[in-house]
């Protein structure tokens, strides 16, 4: 039996669930063409029985309207195990064991907010509802093969989504953890023409890099720094732990 979080339908059948502004990005001729090429590549694999995650690749765009985005957490690609990926970077359903990177994120959160004892939830939808865009640079992956859908065309689409965000005046914090995410710094800086932005960089929360130099993830203070900056811009902070 296939896991419940597998891709089953054409990407185009999911577009009506996106916020209208994101739909506009997907309708741009170059992006539509790239999306069609991806669909033509993915759907035959699905029909042949290849297990591809997640079921809803655009979930982040369903939960976060672009004009409301205050924080961007950029991941690389979805989790590649059964029942894990749900279309939000770093997030998994609550019934799934906490992945190591997410576990380190929770450790850092509790280090920054030691007085808050609310148990974290693996499902980070409550962040998305508050304006945190949980976006991966590739939105699909094959079962058991990390990075398998990199350089297949997703990057041009997710770059277009990032650029679209920069058309809005809403102050935004970009949390860029690891070299892959930090490769987007020039793109963001070059096109940040509206609204103030803050870019915070550190190592990735993966156990392989979370404690290593040059900027360890553990102890980076990014969750509190994000909220302090949002408050300085007269914006509501993110309630990270509920």
Q: Which residues are catalytic, by number?
A: 77
Of 35, 154, 15, 36, the closest CA to residue 89 belongs to 154
d(CA 242, CA 115): 14
d(CA 30, CA 156): 9
Of 226, 33, 235, the closest CA to residue 113 belongs to 226
101, HSE (Cβ side, Cα atoms, 13 Å): 17
Say if CB 108 and CB 21 are below 8 A apart. no
d(CA 220, CA 65): 28
Helix/strand/coil for 234:
coil
- Give the list of residues 6+ apart from residue 190 with CB closer than 8 angstroms, or none: none
């Amino acid at each position: 039996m296939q896991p419940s979080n597998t891709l089953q339908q054409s990407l185009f059948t999911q577009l009506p669930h996106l916020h209208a502004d994101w739909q506009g990005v997907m309708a741009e001729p170059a992006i539509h063409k790239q999306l069609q090429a991806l669909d033509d590549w993915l759907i035959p694999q699905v029909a042949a029985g290849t297990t591809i995650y997640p079921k809803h690749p655009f979930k982040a765009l369903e939960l976060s309207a672009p004009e409301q985005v205050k924080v961007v957490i950029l991941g690389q690609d979805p989790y590649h195990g059964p029942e894990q990926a749900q279309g939000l970077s770093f997030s998994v359903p609550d019934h799934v064991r906490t992945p190591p990177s997410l576990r380190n994120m929770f450790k850092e959160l509790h280090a920054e907010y030691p007085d808050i004892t609310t148990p974290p939830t693996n499902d980070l939808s409550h962040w998305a509802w508050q304006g945190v865009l949980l976006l991966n640079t590739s939105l699909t992956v094959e079962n058991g093969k990390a990075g398998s859908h990199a350089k297949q065309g997703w990057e041009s689409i997710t770059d277009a989504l990032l650029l679209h965000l920069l058309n809005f005046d809403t102050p935004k914090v970009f949390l860029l953890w690891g070299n892959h995410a930090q490769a987007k710094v020039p793109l963001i800086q070059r096109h940040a023409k509206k609204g103030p932005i803050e870019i915070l960089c550190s190592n990735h929360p993966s156990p392989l890099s979370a404690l290593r130099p040059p900027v360890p993830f553990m102890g980076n203070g990014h969750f509190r720094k994000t909220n302090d900056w949002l408050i300085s811009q007269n914006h509501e902070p993110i309630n990270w732990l509920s």
